[in-house]
Structure 1
Amino acid sequence: MTLRAAVLGHPIGHSKSPALHRAAYAQLGADLAYEAIDVTVDALPVFMAGVRGDGRWRGLSVTMPLKAAMAAEVDDIRGVARQLGVINTVAFESGPHDGSPARLVGYNTDVAGIVNALRYAGATAKPVAVVLGGGGTAAAAIAAMKEFGAASVAVYVRDVARAAEARAAAAAVGLSLQVLPLTGAAPAVAAADVVISTLPPRAADGVAEELARHGSLVDGVLLDVAYDPWPSRIATVFSDAGGRVVPGLEMLLYQAVEQVRYFTGLEGPAAAEVIDVMCDAVGAPRRAF
């Protein structure tokens, strides 16, 4: 029986998660099929009811706009996901061998993905931190900045009335937060030690043009989680101004490794080989994860 896993989101056609996961399972010799499935927030409860009735499922990767909504669809939430109420990973834990269904357990591997990607890029401890966007990935970015020892985070959003996930994340991890309009973010972006853009593709272009007009040199690190198209406009402008840029593909790789662990029990020497083939699958440089 071929087992199943998938990435869920809307839209989902651009996702590189299938390439990453399929490479990992091929390397492991796991009979685990992984696909991309377009699911809206409204359709999620019905989809998850169907998943519960199918014993072949082993894992779900969860992307925009489902990360907060998924919290209502699982049986347990663990780790930092419990604090944030934001889930990007669902693992299916087998119950007793009495025919009972698997338990659905929610995790958040985005935080580890952000932390590891920034550490590899040499981000400093206790940074002056700026986050662009206020949704589920921004919540993970705020938790990551807490791990880095930031005293506070400035979050810039298109609508200051719609940053509930960012506000809840800051309260959950005990971090001071400012929520500010995205227009006018350029000076703070230029001055920050760490900038994390969690905006959809091209949504940060306005900030990029503002930064280009601002004309200041930068000395920080930008992680742009949007990886298609690449380089993004904000990545190009930030790099041209002297900053270091981490492509979103790096974060995707780091968080996907953790998902593969949850879905298969991956550990030990096999992990290094799996990481190598995942990097190769998306044309990324091999990393010491």
Structure 2
Amino acid sequence: MLSGTSRGRCAVLGKPIAHSLSPVMHRRAYAELGLDWTYEAVEVDEAGLPEFLDGLDDSWRGLSLTMPLKRVAVGLVDEVSDAVRSVSALNTIVFEGGRRIGDNTDIPGMLGAFEEHGVRGVRTAAVVGAGATAASALAALRADGLRSATLVVREPARAEPLAELARTWGVDVSIARLDEPLRDADLLVSTAPSAAIERHAGQWCMRVGAVFDVIYDPWPTALASAATVAGLPVVSGLDLLAHQAALQVELMTGRTVPASILRTAVLHSR
């Protein structure tokens, strides 16, 4: 882990990237910690990632990765954490001793966000989507005792790889189409665009005990609004972003900052 005392460069990579809130959060963290570090947003796609990484000098301390880079980056680092191995996706690269260390702060970040909102002991979940974020959600819930889950998707065949992966963890997984009635669950996790599930929101919130919507802009989503009306705990994508960013700051600098400060920085920037 780095000491965080020397000047360093960090960035968030992805495509598109202009919308990213990571620069606001990380720069606020550096100010809070008294670090003379820089953090920028750089548009990089899957084809360009190897060249970008090879071109970095020793002033670089770490990178945050968003879509579409979370899976392809796994093959471009020297070492990965257990969290990365569990879902074959990473969102963080730390440069240490000339080596690229890959990690996934989405998984513990979700647990932190759930804990903050009192969402604990989830045994059954419905997860809308089957991509990298859905995989991280299942991994996080599995660590907290998840027993069964339903993947809710438009095309069931595309969800089979994630379903098979989760089954190897001991989670009983079924797959349902988006237009099928939702089964009762302790938690509903949505990784889908708000417009894609808007017409289901009210009905779904009658079948679950809490809602986690990874969307954070615009907010509230139709699903979050329906959950609030139903009196359900709601965890937002901004909650996740703040918790995972705080963990990234710790990995990159060796120092800690509360997730609440990073979330507040975004809210004040709007």
User: Is the pair's TM-score, using the shorter chain for normalization, greater than 0.5?
Assistant: yes
Map 1:49-68 onto structure 2 (within 5 A): 49-51=54-56, 54-68=57-71
Distance between the aligned counterparts of 2:59 and 2:18, measured in 1?
Answer: 23
Number of residue-to-residue matches in the alignment: 263
Query: For the Cα contact (< 8 Å) 1:121–1:221, is it kept in 2?
Result: no
Q: Are 2:224 and 1:235 equivalent residues in the alignment? A: yes
Normalised to the residue count of structure 1, the TM-score between the two structures is: 0.83
Q: Give the equivalent residue in structure 1 for 2:265.
A: 281
Map 1:22-171 onto structure 2 (within 5 A): 22-51=27-56, 54-94=57-97, 102-163=98-159, 166-167=162-163, 169-171=165-167
Distance between the aligned counterparts of 1:215 and 1:49, measured in 2?
Answer: 46
Distance between the aligned counterparts of 2:51 and 2:134, measured in 1?
Answer: 27
Aligned-partner residue type, residue 263 of structure 2: C
Distance between the aligned counterparts of 1:143 and 1:129, measured in 2?
Answer: 12
CA RMSD after TM alignment: 2.2
Distance between the aligned counterparts of 2:169 and 2:123, measured in 1?
Answer: 16
Change (3 A) 1:206 1:276: closer
Change (3 A) 1:48 1:180: farther
- In the TM superposition, structure 1's runs of 4+ consecutive aligned residues that sit over 6 Å from their partners are none
| Structure 1 residue 208: Cα displacement | 2.7
Change (3 A) 1:179 1:16: same
- Structure 2 counterpart of 1:210, from 189, 200, 204: 200
Which runs of no fewer than 5 residues in structure 1 stay unpaired?
Answer: 95-101, 285-289
Deviates more, 1:146-155 or 1:275-284: 275-284
Q: Give the equivalent residue in structure 1 for 2:191.
A: 198
Query: For the Cα contact (< 8 Å) 1:183–1:207, is it kept in 2?
Result: no
Change (3 A) 1:216 1:155: closer
Query: For the Cα contact (< 8 Å) 1:218–1:242, is it kept in 2?
Result: no
Which runs of no fewer than 5 residues in structure 2 stay unpaired?
Answer: 1-5
Distance between the aligned counterparts of 1:208 and 1:283, measured in 2?
Answer: 24
Q: Give the equivalent residue in structure 1 for 2:172.
A: 176
Deviates more, 1:34-43 or 1:158-167: 158-167
Q: Deviations over 1:177-222 (max 9, x none)?
A: 22332233x533xx321111122xxx2434231233x487355111
Distance between the aligned counterparts of 1:172 and 1:59, measured in 2?
Answer: 32
Distance between the aligned counterparts of 2:174 and 2:105, measured in 1?
Answer: 25
| Structure 1 residue 108: Cα displacement | 0.7
SS at match of 1:187: coil
Question: Which fold has the larger relative contact order, with Cα–Cα distance below 8 Å and residues 6 or more apart in sequence?
Answer: 2
